[in-house]
Chains A and B, each alone.
Chain A
Amino acid sequence: GAVVSQHPSWVICKSGTSVKIECRSLDFQATTMFWYRQFPKQSLMLMATSNEGSKATYEQGVEKDKFLINHASLTLSTLTVTSAHPEDSSFYICSAPRQGHEQYFGPGTRLTVT
């Protein structure tokens, strides 16, 4: 089946620094990808829609300057958490829908900000 990968799987950074998370569709092209945030044992909250070749669409309440999204190619979207703070610590998950199939999820990236 189709695979979506994320890198890194786990990252620790200091408060005030920025961290980049990559989401790749390994065997199909994805003009759209989605970024979710998940708190421990809680639901996934959609943060933004990443669109190849155009600006990302952010959900209400999500700071676009805080969470920078770049959909550089048909197989890669990146989420950069800028000036990270401890409250940004979370599990970030991306997904990529594949036409004619389903939406595939990445394994997630655990971000810990100290």
Chain B
Amino acid sequence: AQRVTQPEKLLSVFKGAPVELKCNYSYSGSPELFWYVQYSRQRLQLLLRHISRESIKGFTADLNKGETSFHLKKPFAQEEDSAMYYCALNAGGTSYGKLTFGQGTILTVHP
């Protein structure tokens, strides 16, 4: 069975500092990995998916199959980045199947 682990429940940084949210997964096949963000009082929304290899709002994430990791990074954090971040895995290999979520990391960016 697949599993997603986000070791940090809380992460605090100051504005302008680099930030890295860790995500590790276990799955025997070739998963599709995502990062979702949930701002205060808003719904969950897609931030990144590994297959698109894009940068959204300054965030990037690289899939490291050797380390089974998909860490989310941003070189200069902004206060508006404060939110709950979830790493998720889709074992079906598409964007459309059911997702397994990590425990989530609450990121707080202080001014």
Contact = CB atoms under 8 A, between A and B. Distances in A.
B95 A41 contact: no
A101 B54 CA distance: 15
Interface in A75-114: 93, 95, 97-99, 101-103, 105-108
Given A93-B44, A102-B46, 4 more contacts: A34-B98, A46-B99, A93-B43, A95-B44
Interface residues of B, number: 19
Nearest to A6: B43
B33 interface: no
A44 B101 contact: yes
Interface of B: 42-46, 49, 84, 86, 95-104, 106
A34 B104 CA distance: 19
Contacts of A103: 46, 95-96, 99
A95 B95 CA distance: 12
A43 B99 CA distance: 12
B46 A107 contact: no
Contact of B45 (A46, A93, A99, A105): A105
A105 to B, nearest CB: 4
B96 A32 contact: yes
Residue among A43, A95, A101 with the highest chain B CB neighbour number at 10 A: A43
